[in-house]
Structure 1
């Protein structure tokens, strides 16, 4: 038993690893009823989810907490309550920071992730797509489908939706907008912003760029092959990580040598000024079409 990870105090005592008195001392942090972690551990959302699962025996971590435990970075915010599926039973005492859901999961819908029972990627995607806000649902499906290589359309045939018409309507809309090629939540958000935007043709996600000799130059986040123009989302790490910054510079030069224009998109563009981004992009694409002698 690794006491640097969340653990049940009663089990650690029975194993002779600690005592009840020590658990109450400064060496451990209490996460919940009979659940602890060594002092000094970073109590992030993952640790909170594992601790909550230990506190409710037999529970299955679900929702955004399951996305996190599957190693996928797609949750819309940190500090959200931990969602636990407890089957048909009724659990009376619910601690703050937990949301319990009565549901029955098939055997193949529960995975063991480092000793914690977690809803499978497909079931997690289905749950979020049928209950979350549309954009968040698409982000969840894109991220999980990309990480675990499944087709979002597979979610449409799940039997749990037969008795949930509202959930099915949500799911159908999410799947229609989902694309497993997306490699990050901002990329999904950007693609949906561009979808249907007046004057902007829908770009291709993860477009492979080749030069005039047929040499593979690389993939771009979103691109228009006809216009030889790419959109690349520049997260903070592209600015603060010197190695990443150098790679970006080399990549932009290689794309330029292949005749491609790279338009960077920042978090400010996407989250603060999306309409300004669309306006600038519309102008840039029109100018690019004129440069290449293409019809609008």
Structure 2
């Protein structure tokens, strides 16, 4: 029996592996009634999810803990950092009645159809681990978190699991009578799996909240005549031949932008390799697009075919 994972004290005592006195000593910590863990082992959301399954075997892990288990741990960590006052509880949905939330376990009672639960054998002891499907996980996250934070998690889940906005909307239709479904639909409408980091999701949402034209995420620019790829942008606006690179090293940004500039595109490299606050990045995008718009109109000829000023050469704005 591996004691660095949550285990039932009654089971290990029955097998004679650990005595009651040793369990009550400093070598183990309690994670709930009859659930223990070896002292010194980090207690993260995955550990708490495993402990919750020992305490509530008929339930299913959901919310941020399920998102971590689905591979969206980086997005969940980003959300936790942005919401320091958020409760760090593990959410579990349990069918029936009679189970209450206790301490670090947030229990919600609801019926779970079979297609909204995924089950697998976890770890060397092959214990059952139950968690909500990716679509149901996004639904639960969207109902509990602010919209921007929910989209950050939703983008990561869509990228990791392939869940789509249509899947989430379909599930929302099934739960239309429940609270918070309007927020779920809003999150589904804003999701884009091509935003490959939480910061890029936040920048994209900031651009939309600034009422700028909706960008193409992870835009590939192709040569009109040959169809060959000229370059790629994190956010692109084809109608003005402009785009943004986010959090790139200056040398890498210039390398990415050289071909685009040669084909008449305006490119901005923003973010200072992740050090610039998202609000400042969005403000710089606003400034960049306003500059592009002014240059575009200035470079167009008048009705007589004359330019009010000499056409300007594209460049990298960093």
Q: Could you state the TM-score of these two structures normalised by the residue count of structure 1?
A: 0.80
Q: Secondary structure at the match of 1:255?
A: helix
Quick check: 80-89 or 258-267, which moved more?
258-267
The residue aligned with 1:239 is none
Deviation of the 1:169 alpha carbon: 1.8
Deviations 1:30-54 (A, max 9, x none): 2222112222211122222322332
- Kept in 1, the 8 Å contact 2:203–2:282? The answer is no
Q: Does 1:112 align with 2:119?
A: yes
Deviation of the 1:67 alpha carbon: 0.8
Q: Secondary structure at the match of 1:111?
A: strand
- Kept in 1, the 8 Å contact 2:250–2:269? The answer is no
- Kept in 2, the 8 Å contact 1:134–1:174? The answer is yes
Quick check: 32-41 or 284-293, which moved more?
284-293
How many Å separate the matches in 1 of 2:222 and 2:259?
Answer: 7
How many Å separate the matches in 2 of 1:201 and 1:31?
Answer: 49
What value does the CA root-mean-square deviation take over the aligned residues?
A: 2.8
Q: Note the residue ranges of structure 1 that are not aligned, 5 or more in a row.
A: 235-247
Q: Does 1:99 align with 2:106?
A: yes
Q: 1:196 to 1:82 in 2, by over 3 A?
A: closer
Q: Does 1:87 align with 2:95?
A: yes
How many Å separate the matches in 2 of 1:209 and 1:135?
Answer: 28
How many Å separate the matches in 1 of 2:204 and 2:155?
Answer: 11
- Kept in 2, the 8 Å contact 1:131–1:170? The answer is no
Deviations 1:73-110 (A, max 9, x none): 32221761111111112215x42111110011111221
Deviation of the 1:193 alpha carbon: 0.8
How many Å separate the matches in 2 of 1:192 and 1:155?
Answer: 19
The residue aligned with 2:176 is 162
The residue aligned with 2:21 is 21
Higher Cα radius of gyration: 2
Deviations 1:115-141 (A, max 9, x none): 421111111112222443222232232
How many Å separate the matches in 2 of 1:25 and 1:210?
Answer: 66
Q: Could you state the TM-score of these two structures normalised by the residue count of structure 2?
A: 0.75
The residue aligned with 2:246 is 232
- Kept in 2, the 8 Å contact 1:6–1:36? The answer is yes
Q: Note the residue ranges of structure 2 that are not aligned, 5 or more in a row.
A: 82-86, 123-127, 262-266, 301-318
The residue aligned with 2:269 is 263
Q: 1:210 to 1:3 in 2, by over 3 A?
A: farther
- Kept in 2, the 8 Å contact 1:182–1:205? The answer is yes
Q: What number of residue pairs does the alignment pair up?
A: 275
- Kept in 2, the 8 Å contact 1:161–1:167? The answer is no
The residue aligned with 1:189 is 202
Q: Does 1:280 align with 2:280?
A: no
Instruction: Map 1:23-102; keep pairs closer than 5 Å.
Output: 23-73=23-73, 74-75=75-76, 76-77=79-80, 80-92=88-100, 94-102=101-109
How many Å separate the matches in 1 of 2:281 and 2:227?
Answer: 32
How many Å separate the matches in 1 of 2:27 and 2:251?
Answer: 49
Deviations 1:236-289 (A, max 9, x none): xxxxxxxxxxxx45532321321353422245421xxx2x44443233234445
How many Å separate the matches in 1 of 2:28 and 2:157?
Answer: 34
How many Å separate the matches in 1 of 2:231 and 2:106?
Answer: 43
Q: Secondary structure at the match of 2:61?
A: strand
